[in-house]
Chains A and B, each alone.
Chain A
Amino acid sequence: MADILAWAGGGFVIIGAALSLLGAIGVLKFPDVYTRIHAASITDTAGASMVLLGLCLIAGLSLTTLKLVFIWMFVMLTTPVSANALANAAFGSGHKPRIGAFQIMRTDERRKTPRGVDAP
Chain B
Amino acid sequence: MITLPASINASLVLDIVLLVMLLVVAGAIVRTRSLLAAIILFGVYSMISAIWLVVMDAPDVAFTEAVVGAGISTIVLLGAILLTRGETEKSDWRKLIAPALICAAVGGVLIYAAMGLPDLGDASSPANAHVGRAYLEGTAKDIGVPNMVTAVLASYRGLDTLGETAVIFAAGIGVALMLGFGPRSSLASPPSNLGDRHVTLRVAAKLLIPLIALFALYVQFHGDLGAGGGFQAGVIMAAAITLHALVFGLRETMAAIPSRVARSVASLGVLIYAGVGVVCMINGGGFLDYDYLFPPAVEAQIPGWILGDGSHAPHWGQHAGILLIEIGVLLTVTATMVTVFYGFAGRTVDDARREAKR
Contact = CB atoms under 8 A, between A and B. Distances in A.
Contact of A85 (B193, B200, B208, B211): B200
Interface residues of B, number: 9
B313 interface: no
Chain A contact residues (Cβ within 8 angstroms of B): what range?
under 10
A48 to B, nearest CB: 15
B123 interface: no
Contacts of B208: 77-78
Given A77-B208, A78-B208, A92 B200 contact: no
- Interface class of chain A by DSSP: helix
- Most B CB contacts (10 A, CB to CB) among A74, A77, A78, A81 go to A81
Interface string B181-215: 00000000000010001101100100110010000
A84 interface: yes
A75 to B, nearest CB: 12
Contact of A88 (B197, B204, B207, B211): B197
Nearest to A85: B201
A81 B208 CA distance: 11
Contacts of A92: 193, 197
Interface string A65-88: 000000000100110010011001
A5 B113 CA distance: 48
A77 B204 contact: yes
Contacts of A88: 197-198, 200-201
Contacts of A74: 211
Contacts of A77: 204, 207-208
B201 A81 contact: yes
A92 B211 CA distance: 29
B201 A84 contact: yes
Nearest to A74: B211
B343 to A, nearest CB: 24
Interface string B88-115: 0000000000000000000000000000
A66 to B, nearest CB: 14
Nearest to B211: A74
A74 B210 CA distance: 13
B101 to A, nearest CB: 34
B193 A81 contact: no
B32 to A, nearest CB: 13
Contacts of B211: 74
Contacts of A78: 204, 208
B82 to A, nearest CB: 14
Nearest to A84: B200
Given A74-B211, A84-B201, A88-B201, 17 more contacts: A77-B204, A77-B207, A77-B208, A78-B204, A78-B208, A81-B200, A81-B201, A81-B204, A84-B200, A85-B198, A85-B200, A85-B201, A88-B197, A88-B198, A88-B200, A92-B193, A92-B197
A85 B201 CA distance: 7
A64 to B, nearest CB: 14
A81 B140 CA distance: 45
Interface string B156-175: 00000000000000000000
A92 B198 CA distance: 11
A92 to B, nearest CB: 7
A27 B200 CA distance: 24
A11 B197 CA distance: 40
